[in-house]
Chains A and B, each alone.
Chain A
Amino acid sequence: MTGRLPSGNGRLDEILNGGLLRNAINLIVGVPGSGKTILSQQFVFHNAGAKNRALYLSTLSEPLDKILRYGQTLKFFDQAAVRDGHIVYEDLGQVLGEHGLDDVLETIDRYLKEVRPAIVVFDSFRAFHALAADVMSFRRFLYGLTRRLTASATTSIWNAPYSRMQALDEAEFAVADAIVALDIKQLAEREVRVLQVLKLRGSRYQTGEHAYRISEEGFNVFPRLADAQDHSRYELSTKRVATGIKALDDLLGEGGYWSGASTLIAGPSGIGKTLMGLHFLFHGADHGEPGILATFQENESQLARIVKSFGWSLDNKNIHVLSRSLVDMYIDEWVYELLDLVKASGAKRIVIDSLPDLMTTAADPVRFREWMFSLSQRCARAGISLMMVVEVPDLFQLRRISEHGISHLTDNVVLLQYVQEGPELARALTVLKTRAMRHRPVVHRYDITDEGFVLGDVLSVTR
């Protein structure tokens, strides 16, 4: 329908299907401190130029000098654009304070003719609300302003410190063509900034809450990974390859597993899950398949030691480590780091160590499943094999795998557990589930040797 006003943040523009609506009224609402002024200025600086002048109007909420003082600390703040008149900052506060709403309209008329702005920002719009004598006079003002802005080729951005619920009740909501809401959510003891599109006339957009961060670069948004089910066919791998985990390959037979499959490795502490993941990755690396170890646990020197004891090296050009502390981590921020690394490295194998760590960063189990579904779909379509490690609390006699139903989403589930044989603890491996492969759910003993995981006898487990 109309053109777009991009933000300069590619992922935010993806959410908005290109950007805010050009020649339209765009509302940015959000609680104080959520970044409305920064986001507005980001749109302004990204789009203003000699032929697209922007007019930034402060009202009664904040003095213009304060907006400018903080504004100039942002990387995109371009003093030359202000100096050359591409961006004009003006204070409407005085007009408002002395004469009220009628004079505002006259002042707007003047700006539309003299500045001829392609973009107008009102920061904040709520001041107009407060100054209106009654509901009728506010509506009249709103109508007058809307008519003026509609008649001119102007994209306007109205800021207002409303929460999402409030925004729905205000008169501005009805006249706005696009509404972007910013909020700060409390998750346990952590704060998460979320952005949500409430309205985007005549356009699709990515629904739901998207986490974002603000830095001196401006807004960085992480669209929630929630791919709708894609029914288009994709080419399933017809290639069975060795996982590189000897015991598993022997069990699966016929050359290994389907490449592009997802595998869940569940087992108690110390049984060798991480090591299994490393065998999987280094086997791939040796056979021309780059791999990524995404870890939240091992620190790099500890990891390097384990790796070295098997004669491998983290300097291997086909091995990439994505190591991230869980502190203040957003799950969707992390997934874009992963996807960017996949793109840069051409990775064909990914090990996530571990899944429960990731779960702690998701808002809730339902959201986590949706997220996981999207990630595994993306990997499957790209022919990337995903291996996920899950730690279980029970050492013996496993009762349940606490993975919030993720095993339903994966192609293969491998269970590692301890079994007692007389005075000794033996390690045992069971393939609980394989998709499109024949297998028998038998409990095998295995040993970890220099050769890696070596399959032993079938065990008869007593119950």
Chain B
Amino acid sequence: MLGMAASTLRAWEDRYGVISPARSEGSQRLYSRDQVEQLRFIKSQLEKGASAADAHRLLAQELAAGHATAAREANGDDRHLVLLADRDSYAADLAEYFLRTEGYEVVTALDATQAKVQFGERSPDVVLLDLLISGGAGFRLLGEFVAAGSARVIAVSAIDSAEEAMRSGASAFLQKPLEPLVLVSTVRDLLGTSALAGLARRTVQSTP
């Protein structure tokens, strides 16, 4: 279904228990129209790089919040993109998840080279940049990203480097570990809008 193997769907059903189809008399799985939409949501999340576990978590949250997944997905392309450049994969994973639940699209880089490539290819709206990435290359990257002028940069570090970061043009500084609420509200404030706002505003924002 939707180009996904039946065995995969069965495994997800057992593992996450979010999409549980009814059974026919012959024990065939019967997916409702809503459930098909939900699978479509999962698929699109996977395509955006979320793990299967996170995709199901996001779906469960959407359902709990009473969102119709289909309607929300229709706006998908207009979402703001956040580039997460963090040397710590666990920290990146958590931040990615917290931003995704708020409707942001996220791309992750675990070293300076990856970050530069992603920045060039994806032109994110916001960059969350660990200053200590790749042995302290973050400061150089900060300068480059700020100079490019296309994105707002949030500098993060385990060490309090607020002053230096702001002097180098960062829009905000957050000390690690990042608290979910602070992270999300900082990104939201910088974009000056909710994550689901239209593409038009995004264009205005990125042309200084």
Chain A interface (Cβ within 8 Å of chain B)?
23, 51, 109-110, 112-114, 116, 118, 147-148, 150-154
Contact = CB atoms under 8 A, between A and B. Distances in A.
Given A113-B97, A147-B88, A51 B177 contact: no
A151 B94 contact: yes
Given A147-B88, A148-B90, A153 B53 contact: no
A153 B90 contact: no
B164 interface: no
B40 interface: no
Given A23-B177, A51-B181, A116-B180, A151 B91 contact: yes
B57 interface: yes
A23 B177 CA distance: 7
30 contacts: A23-B177, A51-B181, A109-B53, A110-B53, A112-B94, A113-B54, A113-B57, A113-B94, A114-B57, A116-B180, A118-B179, A147-B88, A147-B90, A148-B90, A150-B88, A150-B90, A150-B177, A151-B88, A151-B90, A151-B91, A151-B94, A151-B177, A152-B90, A152-B91, A152-B94, A152-B177, A153-B178, A153-B179, A153-B180, A154-B177
Interface of B: 53-54, 57, 88, 90-91, 93-94, 97-98, 177-181
Main secondary structure of the interface of B (DSSP, over half): helix
Contacts of B181: 51
Contacts of A51: 181
Contacts of B97: 113
Contacts of B90: 147-148, 150-152
B62 to A, nearest CB: 14
Contacts of B91: 151-152
Nearest to A51: B181
A38 to B, nearest CB: 28
A152 B180 CA distance: 9
Highest count of chain A CB atoms <10 Å: which of B93, B98, B177, B181:
B177
A116 B178 CA distance: 11
A153 B178 CA distance: 6
Contacts of A113: 54, 57, 94, 97-98
A242 to B, nearest CB: 59
Nearest to B95: A151
A153 B177 contact: yes
Contacts of B179: 118, 153
A99 to B, nearest CB: 13
B162 to A, nearest CB: 15
Contacts of A152: 90-91, 94, 177
Highest count of chain A CB atoms <10 Å: which of B91, B98, B178:
B91
B64 to A, nearest CB: 11
A23 B178 CA distance: 10
Contacts of A154: 177
Nearest to B158: A150
A15 to B, nearest CB: 26
A34 B180 CA distance: 35
A51 B179 CA distance: 10
- Kindly list the 9 A-B residue pairs having the minimum CB-CB distance in the complex, ordered from nearest: A151-B90, A151-B91, A153-B177, A153-B179, A113-B97, A116-B180, A147-B90, A148-B90, A23-B177
Highest count of chain A CB atoms <10 Å: which of B54, B57, B179:
B179
Contacts of B180: 116, 153
A438 B177 CA distance: 66
B177 to A, nearest CB: 4
Nearest to A154: B177
Contacts of A110: 53, 57
Contacts of B93: 109, 151
Nearest to B160: A1
A154 B179 CA distance: 9
Contacts of B53: 109-110
A413 to B, nearest CB: 56
A437 B177 CA distance: 62
A273 B117 CA distance: 88
A114 B178 CA distance: 16
Nearest to A114: B57
A150 B158 CA distance: 10
Highest count of chain B CB atoms <10 Å: which of A23, A148, A151, A154:
A151
Nearest to A52: B179
A449 B91 CA distance: 82
Contacts of B94: 112-113, 151-152
A150 B178 CA distance: 10
A114 B58 CA distance: 10
Contacts of A23: 177
Nearest to A146: B90
Nearest to A144: B90
Given A147-B88, A152-B91, A153-B179, 5 more contacts: A23-B177, A147-B90, A148-B90, A150-B177, A151-B88
A118 B181 CA distance: 11
A120 to B, nearest CB: 13
A210 B31 CA distance: 64
Contacts of A109: 53, 93
Nearest to A112: B94
A109 B54 CA distance: 10
Nearest to B88: A151
Contacts of A150: 88, 90, 177
Nearest to B181: A51
Nearest to A24: B177
